[in-house]
Chain A
Amino acid sequence: MKWTWWKVLTVVFLLYSAAAGFLLPVPRLAIVNESIRNLYFHVPMWFAMMVILGTSVFRSMQYLRNPSARLDILSHEAAKSGIVLGVLGLATGSLWAKYTWGAWWTPDPRLNAAAVAMLIYGAYLVLRGSFRDEQQRARVSAIYNIFAFAAAIPLLFILPRLAGNSLHPGQTGNPGFNKYDLDSTMRMVFYPAVIGWILFAFWMTQVSSRLAFLQLKIDEK
C-alpha cells in the first residue's frame, strides 16, 4: 500500500479540477466566454498524452537495448493510453471549436498536426497487428515507435508556429497562454489538472499493463 498515495492524489486532483473548473469564476473574454473552462480539460489531456507517449518511446529504447516481453508490453500499453488521451483531446477540442469557431473541424495547422499524430499511432497499432512472431513484432514496433516520435512529434510543435496563421489559443509566439493570461484563480485549477491527468495516464497504463502481464502468463502455460 506504500504506492497508493499518488492514486489518491490523482483522484483528488481530477475531482477538484472538474468541480473547481466548472464552479470557480473565470475571466470574461470576448468570443471565448465560459468556454475558456475547456482549458482545464483539453490542455491537460494533451500534456498527459505527450508525457505518456514519451514514456512509450523511452520503454521502446529500453527494449532495443535489453529485449524483454515486459518492456514491450509497457511500451505498447503506454502508447495505447496516449491514443486514448489524444482522442479525448481531439474530442474536447472539437467541441470547443464548434461553439467558439462555429465548426467541428477547421484546417488549422494545430488541428492537422494533432490528426497526423493520431494517424501515426494508428499506423503503429496496424504494424503491431501484422506480425505473427512476437519477438519480431516487439522489435520492429519499437523501432517504428522511436522513428515516428523522432520524425513527426517535434514537427507538431514547430509547424503550427511556422504557419503563423493559426487561430488556436496560445499559438502566436510562445506556447503559453499569454493571450488569455491565466489569472491566479485559473492557475490554481490548471496546474492540479495537469498533474492529475498525467498521473491518470500512468495509472491507466499500469492497470492495462497488469492485465497484459496476466494474459502473457496464461498464454505461457
Chain B
Amino acid sequence: MRPETNPLPVLLREISTLLAKDFRLEWRQRAALGGLLLYVGSTVFVCFLSFSLRGGTPPPPAWNALLWVILLFAAINAVAKGFMQESPGQRLYYYTLVRPQAVILAKILYNTLLLTAVALLGLFLYTVFLGNPIQDAPLFVANLLLGAVGFATTLTLVSGIAAKAGGNGATLMAILGFPLMVPMLLLLIKVSKNALDGLDRSVSQQSLLTLLALNMLVGAVSYLLFPFLWRG
C-alpha cells in the first residue's frame, strides 16, 4: 500500500473494505442470517399463539415489553457471532493488514445495519401478528432505530470481550451485556411507551437526547478501548 499523508482516507477505505467483507461473509453463510430471521419470526409467532388464547392482541404495556424483549434477545444473538466466528489466526491476519480502529468501526457499522434490518422486520411481523396500537408511528420508528444503533454499539465491544474469553461466549456475552443495556433499555421503553400512547413529543425529547448522547459516548469509548483488546 502506498504511504498516505492523511490517515483519514486510509481509515475510511479500510472500513469500507471490512464492511464489504462482512456482508460477503454473511451472504455466503446464509444459514446464520436465516437462523436469526427465523428466531425473530418464531418468537413473534409464539407470542401470537399465546395471546390468541385470550382473544387477540395484548394490552399496550405487554405489547411494548414483549417487543423489546424479542429485540433484545435477537440483538444479542445477532451480534454474538460477529467476533466469535473469527478464528484467532484470522484475527492475526487482519491485525497485520488494517488498524484496529477500522475493525471496531466497521463492526459497529455492520452490526448497526444488521440490527436495524432485524428491528424493522421484527416490528413489521409483530404488528402483523399482534396488532398495531402505536399512535405516533414516526417517533416509535425513530426510537426503534436509535435502539438498534445503541444495541449495536454496546454489544459490539462486549462481543469482542466475550470472544477473548473463549468457551461459552454467548452466555458470557449475556452476563456482560445485560446490565450495561439496562439504562439504555429503560430510556427506550419509556420513549416507545410515549409513542404508543401518542403523548406530545416534547415529553420524549429529553430521553431521546440522552439516548443519542449515550450512543455517542459508548461509541467513543469502544473506539478508544478496542485497540487494547486487540493487541493480545
Contacts and interface: CB of A to CB of B under 8 A. Distances in A.
Interface of A: 64, 112-113, 116, 119-120, 122-123, 126-127, 130-131, 135-136, 139-140, 142-144, 146-148, 150-152, 154-156, 158-159, 162
Interface of B: 154, 157-158, 161, 164-165, 167, 172, 175-176, 178-180, 182-183, 186-187, 206-207, 210, 214, 217-218, 221-222, 225, 228-229, 231-232
Contacts of B183: 113, 116, 151-152, 155-156, 159
Contacts of A113: 183
Contact of A146 (B172, B210, B225): B225
A55 B158 CA distance: 22
A116 B183 CA distance: 8
B175 A139 contact: no
A135 B225 CA distance: 16
Given A116-B179, A159-B187, A126 B214 contact: no
15 contacts: A122-B179, A123-B176, A127-B165, A127-B176, A136-B164, A139-B231, A143-B157, A147-B180, A150-B217, A151-B180, A151-B221, A159-B186, A159-B187, A162-B206, A162-B210
B176 A144 contact: yes
A82 to B, nearest CB: 15
A146 B175 contact: no
Given A130-B167, A155-B214, A162-B206, A147 B179 contact: no
Contact of B161 (A122, A127, A154): A127
Contacts of A116: 179, 182-183
Contacts of B180: 120, 147-148, 151-152
A143 B172 contact: no
Nearest to B218: A151
A144 B161 CA distance: 7
Contacts of A147: 157-158, 161, 180, 221-222, 225
Contacts of A162: 187, 206-207, 210
Nearest to B167: A130
A146 to B, nearest CB: 6
Contacts of A155: 183, 214
